[in-house]
Every structure is written in structure tokens, then in C-alpha cells.
Structure 1
Amino acid sequence: MRHTVVERELELQLVLSPEHSIPVAARLAYRTDDPYAVHIGFHIDSAHPVHWAFARELLVEGVFRPCGHGDVRVWPAKSEGRAVVLIGLSSPDGDALLEAPAGQVSAWLERTLVACPPGSEGGRLGLDDGLADLLTR
């Protein structure tokens, strides 16, 4: 099965306080061979990029309403009159609040939904082929 990769470079804002944020270059990535996840990589004062992966469904829902709990939370908001998506990340190393342009995130998500429509993810994992292979041995 052929796999598709959908990527987008964009600038996020790392929110340091209500009055102060800094720009952070980021790359959104979606792969149909990992159909349930979205991947975000960004540099924050480190030699190596920080990578996060979480459910695509969480980001899709978070564009419209607050969702998630624990390590990843996503919700829509307004910043200086612009629609944004806020992504809250928590790890043992610390917490981060990232602000992404809602239009750019939505356009990228739409491309991922075309590449692998909701409900078709399970067919992309090759589980049926793997099971058939095991049963024919």
C-alpha cells in the first residue's frame, strides 16, 4: 500500500505570559502509515528539535472546541483579533503553551482528512494483511 505524507511548515508562538510570546518554527506532519497520529516538531532553545505526537482527532476537535486532558490539550481562541488554536503540552520536563494560526492548521488538517478520511484509518495499518499472513503459515 502506498503511503502519503502531509507536511506543513508554520510559525507558532510559544506563549511565555499573557503579554509575551516568542516565534517558534514548527513542522506539522501526518503520515498515512501512522494514520491516527499527528506529529509536531519544533526548536525551543535546543540543538535538537522537540517532537510530539498525539491523536489527529484531538487536533481536529480542538479547532472547534476545547478538548484533551493530561499531556495534550487543544482549544480555539482569539489573539489580537485572529483565530488561533492553542496547544497545551505537559511533560516531566515542563509545560508549553503554543499558539498556532487556526486557518493554517485547519487547511493542513483538511489535507490529512483527504489523504486518509476519518473511519478509514484502520485499513491503513495493514492489520488484515498481517493477520492473513499469520493464518496462512
Structure 2
Amino acid sequence: MTTVIEQDVEARLVAAAPRMPTIPATLAYDRSDPFAVRMTFPAPATLEGVEVSWTFARELLTAGVEEPSGDGDVRVRPYGYDRTVLEFHAPEGTAIVHVRTGELRRFLKRSTALVPAGREHLHLDVDQNLAELLGGAC
């Protein structure tokens, strides 16, 4: 059975210039980290020229396609009929991208089929996580 879901999405970077370039991004969900999703931007799409990944709560993405959500480093909100805005805040600056809401919903549906919402705790390996946290001290 598949334990990781990856889905390529097309994002539009919101910049000061009127043109909004399309950049590739990949959404990923791993059953072994059931509360999180990861969005990765390849090196050519970033200012630093290195691949950048943001990990945030699946629940944030789920809520954000319906209503503004988040007050930390990642914020998600609907934009118009068929777009969702994702804001990524870092000390270096803020990146704002638009993604088609349908693509996000398709990804969320696939992740929920793998691990239903409210059942994430059943997929946690508490012993393994505790051992990693303690660095083998026990």
C-alpha cells in the first residue's frame, strides 16, 4: 500500500511586477508524518537557487481552501472562484503563490483516503519519535 502521496501543482508567484510567472511545486503527504503536508519548490524557482520545502499542517491547508487560516509562517486563504493563496513568511521575506483550488482539493482528497482526518494518531510511531527526540539517550 502506498504510504507517500506526491502531486505536482502549478503555482503562480505573486511579485511586485504585474506579470505572475508560473513555477512548479510539489505537494507531498507521508503517512508516517500524518499531520503534515510538504510543499517543495525546485531550485530554479527560488531566489537562493536551492530547493526549498515548507512543512505545515494538513488541517491548515484543508481549512485554508475554505476560509483564511493560519497566523504563523504559513497562511492559506481562498482567492476568487478557483484559486487559493499560500503565503510563506521567513526572515528573508515573504513568498506568495496562487494555486488552483481544485488541485489542492484533489491532493487533500488523496491524503484523506490514505489517512482519514481524525485518524492521524493511529499512524504515529510514538516509540520511534521518542527515540529520535531523545537522540538515543535511553
> TM class, shorter-chain normalised?
0.7 to 0.9
Compared CA separation, residues 21 and 124, structure 1 to 2 (3 A)? same
Structure-1 residue corresponding to 2:100: 101
The Cα RMSD (Å) is: 2.1
Compared CA separation, residues 108 and 34, structure 1 to 2 (3 A)? same
Structure-2 residue corresponding to 1:22: 21
TM-score if structure 2 supplies the norm length?
A: 0.84
Taking only the aligned residue pairs, the percentage that are identical comes to 35
Contact kept? 1:24, 1:44, Cα under 8 Å: no
Structure-1 residue corresponding to 2:38: 39
TM-score if structure 1 supplies the norm length?
A: 0.84
User: Which residue of the other structure, out of 74, 78, 88, is the alignment partner of 2:76?
Assistant: 74
Mapped to 1, the partners of 2:15 and 2:128 lie a distance apart of: 48
Mapped to 2, the partners of 1:35 and 1:20 lie a distance apart of: 36
Mapped to 2, the partners of 1:76 and 1:31 lie a distance apart of: 25
Structure 1 unaligned spans of 5+: 132-137
Aligned residues: 127
Structure 2 unaligned spans of 5+: 131-138
Does residue 85 of the first structure (1) align with residue 84 of the second (2)?
yes
Q: Following TM superposition, where does structure 1 have runs of at least 4 consecutive aligned residues deviating by more than 6 angstroms?
A: 128-131
Moved more, 120-129 or 44-53: 120-129
Compared CA separation, residues 109 and 88, structure 1 to 2 (3 A)? same
Compute the displacement of 1:92 (Å): 0.6
Query: What is the identity, as a one-letter code, of the residue corresponding to 1:86?
Result: V
Structure-2 residue corresponding to 1:65: 67
Structure showing greater Rg: 1
Structure-2 residue corresponding to 1:135: none
Compute the displacement of 1:130 (Å): 8.1
Mapped to 2, the partners of 1:22 and 1:57 lie a distance apart of: 28
User: Which residue of the other structure, out of 53, 56, 72, is the alignment partner of 1:54?
Assistant: 56
Compute the displacement of 1:47 (Å): 3.1
